[in-house]
Amino acid sequence: MKEVINIYKKHKNTVNEFIITMIKNFPKNYIDNAEDILKSNPNVQLIYAVDNDYKQISPIICKKRKEKENIGVSKEHYFLKVAFNNENFYISNPYIHYRTGKASLSAVHKIEDVYYVFDLNLIGILEELKLIEYNNIYDKVKRTIYFFAALMLALVSITLILYGAYIFGQVVFFKDEGNLLHNIFQSIISVTLGVAMYDLASQIFEHEVLFTSFAKEEDRQYKILGKFLTSIIIALSIETLMVVFKIVLGDYQKMLSAFWLLIGTTFMLVGLAFFYKTIKQSGCKEDE
C-alpha cells in the first residue's frame, strides 16, 4: 500500500486528470447507466448518488448487484473535508477499500444538487497508465508457486530442528557418552541449518506471498542472502570446531580436513564481509 501511495503521489496530477476525463466520458445520468459504466470500465468498483443534504438517494450499484439498504443514510461525515475543483470534481486520497481490500480512490462529481460517487481501483488505474506492472493471473500463479516453495522449505527446516532436538535428547536421556561431543555438535549444526532454512522460508512467504512489492527494494534480496550465508558460515564454523576437538582428542587423521574446512570458512567469512561492504557503499540514499 505504501508503494502504491508513493507512485500515486509522484504522478498525482496525471492520475487525477485521467480519472476526471474518464468520468466525463461516461454516459450522462450516471445512475441510470451505471451497469454499462461498470461493465465497460473494470476499474470502477461501485457507484451511488448523494443529495445536497448528504443523504444517499440511490442504491449502491456494484458490478453484480444493487444494494438498497443504505438509501436515506447520511454520508455527511464523508463530505466534511471535500473541496471541489473548478469543474466540480473531487478526488480523495488513497485508502484500502472496505469491500475489495484493494488500494482505491473515491471520485465525486457534483452536478447541480447531486453528488455522484465513484469508487475506483487505484492499482488498476496505475496499471492502465503504465505506471506499474501488475498482472492478476500471473501474480496469483507466482504467489502459489512461492507459497508451496516456502512451505517445503519450512517443513525441511522444522525437520532439521526436530532432528537436532532428537540427537540432543539421546545425549541427555540415554547418556550416549561414547559420541557425546560429536552428537552435541551435530545437534547444534542441525538446529542452525534449520533456523537458516526457516528464516529463508519466512522471508519468501512474507515478501512474495503475503505482500508483493511493485517497486522492489534494491537491497532486500541482498539482506535475505546475507542472513542465509551468515547461518551457513556459523554452521561451518561449528563443524570446523568439532573437527578440531576430534584432533585434540587424538584423531589426527582429521587434521587435513580441518585445515581445508577452516580455510574455506575463512574465505566465506571474508567474502561475506566484502559483500556487505560493497552493498553498503552502493546503497546511497537520495538525501546523502
Q: What is the pLDDT of residue 111?
A: 92
**Whether residue 154 sits in one domain with residue 57:** no
- Judged by DSSP in three states, 160 sits in helix
User: Quick one: average pLDDT of 114-128?
Assistant: 90
Per-residue pLDDT at 211 exceeds 80: no
- Into how many domains does the chain fold? 2
Provide the pLDDT confidence category of residue 239 given band limits of 50, 70 and 90: confident
Residue 288 lies in a domain: no
Provide the pLDDT confidence category of residue 215 given band limits of 50, 70 and 90: very low
| pTM for this entry | 0.52
Alpha carbon distance 153, 145 (integer Å): 12
Residue 287 lies in a domain: no
Higher pLDDT, 4 or 92: 92
Lowest model confidence (mean pLDDT) among 97-101, 120-124, 166-170: 97-101
pLDDT tens sequence across 88-115: 999 999 888 887 778 899 999 999 889 9
Provide the pLDDT confidence category of residue 80 given band limits of 50, 70 and 90: confident
Question: For residue 180, what is its C-alpha cell?
Answer: 557425546
Q: How far, in whole angstroms, is CA 276 from its chain's centroid?
A: 24
pLDDT tens sequence across 23-56: 999 988 899 999 999 999 989 999 999 999 999 9
Chosen domain end from 94, 128, 162: 128
CATH assignment at residue 87: 3.30.450.20
User: CA angle, 242 as apex, 239 and 245 as ends, to 5°?
Assistant: 155
Higher pLDDT, 157 or 205: 157
**Whether residue 115 sits in one domain with residue 143:** no
- Judged by DSSP in three states, 57 sits in coil
Per-residue pLDDT at 132 exceeds 90: no
In terms of residue numbers, what domain contains 76? Answer: 2-128
